[in-house]
Amino acid sequence: MRRGDRECGEPRRRRLLAGVSTNVMVLGFVSLLTDMSSEMIIPILPLFLVSIGATGLIVGLVEGAAETTASLLKVVSGWYSDRFRKRKAFILAGYGSSAAVKPLLIIAASAWQILGIRIAERVGKGIRSAPRDALIADSTESRYTGRAFGFHKAMDTTGAILGVILLLVVAFVLGVHAHDVYGADDFKVIFAVASIPAFVAVLVIILFVREVPSTKEAVQRTFLKGMRRLGRPFWLLMIVVMFFYLGEVNQAFFILKATFEGESFTVAILLYLMFNIVFAALSTPLGSLSDRLGRKPLIALSFGLFAFTCVTMSVASSLWLLALGFATFGVYKAASEGIFKAYVLDVSVPDELRGTALGAFHTCVGLVMLPGGIVVGLLWDSAGPGSAFLYGAAMAAVSVVLLLFLGPRRGPSPAA
């Protein structure tokens, strides 16, 4: 019986990973290590900020400003990687600079220092994101694009799972479990441990990531001409993207909501771990599903799931409702993040402008995260957590309508 199970299971795994190249697997492992580092920091950063006197508005400002600053670089780095047909140099510079600034958290003592470090760390993400996603596309047959991006998000989120588990282990060793309160020295130890996987990821890039030779000539046109060549359907989709992400409630507020309702920080982190497990488990299969059914239905479903998640979190006052909210948040992420990138490439984007298109997408998302984070933070401070989440639900509901009218219908070629 067990032998039969293995024989059936192996072909199923091969089918699930068909079309996922070695380069994509290596980039997935790089993201696993990097997210392992980041996710040791992200769950405790809101608590660290609150411990040094920050309000909900400051938490929203830190997260929104960091993402918005990084977004300004994403389209530029994507365009330059198209222009010179080089991806690896940008990927290495981005991951390397992010790794270099993370240890500075050990000596940070004010919200404004944290803001500066977060911005510097996100600058690295701004440099690497579009070229990395373009290299994933370069390394993948078009019929498997959704699967490749889904696999990458699954690896990225697996890193988040491992990071959260390592965070809990370090917290246990430090004795935090006994009183559930982090002291200044506890934060410093965690920040130091979190820096290690980030530097290992940089080494993996140097040794194993490969450029994909291109038969096309390097892009010589100007930046503005490249933007115009992306076309009207692409920019209509960006309107939908910006409107939706203006209302996306950051995961930091999910963690704060759990503690606001009286749950211990350990329970809040376990809920966050569950979110990441759901996210990782569903990213690849949902990406593959989008290769067969098309991106638009999955994106519309994800918007509806986010609206449901926010309504649930707005009224959640018990552990089971909080768990439901975190779980559906994971399903929403799995049905949107990787698939959105594949959707962007489906919209008649020329192969030589993949980096530019993905950079423009990342930039559009990042530009609205600062005002969106400020709105959510102000609502949190002035009217309570419920109103902040209801704002996210309302924006998601309107985004479904916008997607139906403005979202291109073009889909991928059917996968074999």
The domain limits of the chain are 20-210+224-406
Rounded average pLDDT over 64-78: 77
Name the average pLDDT for the chain. 85
Under the phi-then-psi rule, with left for phi > 0, alpha for psi from -120 to 50, and beta for the rest, what region is 248?
beta
The CA distances from residue 1 to 5, 14, 15, 218, 332, in Å, are 6, 20, 22, 55, 36
Sign of CA dihedral 283, 287, 290, 296: positive
Q: Looking up tokens 């994800």, which residue turns up?
A: 302
The confidence score (pLDDT) of residue 14 equals: 56
Q: Quick: pLDDT tens for 384-411.
A: 999 999 999 999 999 999 999 998 865 4
Distance (Å, rounded) from C-alpha 102 to C-alpha 129?
A: 18
Dihedral of the CA atoms 40, 43, 44, 45 (nearest 10)?
A: 100
Percent with pLDDT over 90 in the chain? 45
Name which of 175-184, 185-194, 281-290 the model is least confident about: 175-184
> Using one digit for the tens of pLDDT, what is the confidence trace for 287-306?
999 998 889 999 999 999 99
Lowest average pLDDT, out of 94-98, 304-308, 373-377, 397-401, goes to 373-377
φ, ψ for residue 180, nearest 5 deg:
60, 25
146 has pLDDT over 50? yes
Lowest model confidence (mean pLDDT) among 13-27, 106-120, 194-208, 310-324: 13-27
> pLDDT: is 113 or 15 the higher one?
113
Mean pLDDT value across residues 352-374: 84
User: In whole angstroms, what is the distance from residue 166 CA to residue 269 CA?
Assistant: 11
pLDDT, residue 2, reads 44
Span 77-105, average pLDDT: 91
Nearest to 217 by CA among 24, 347, 93, 353: 353
* Whole-number pLDDT of residue 47: 76
Superfamily grouping for domain 20-210+224-406? MFS general substrate transporter like domains (1.20.1250.20)
Structure tokens at 186: 């506890």
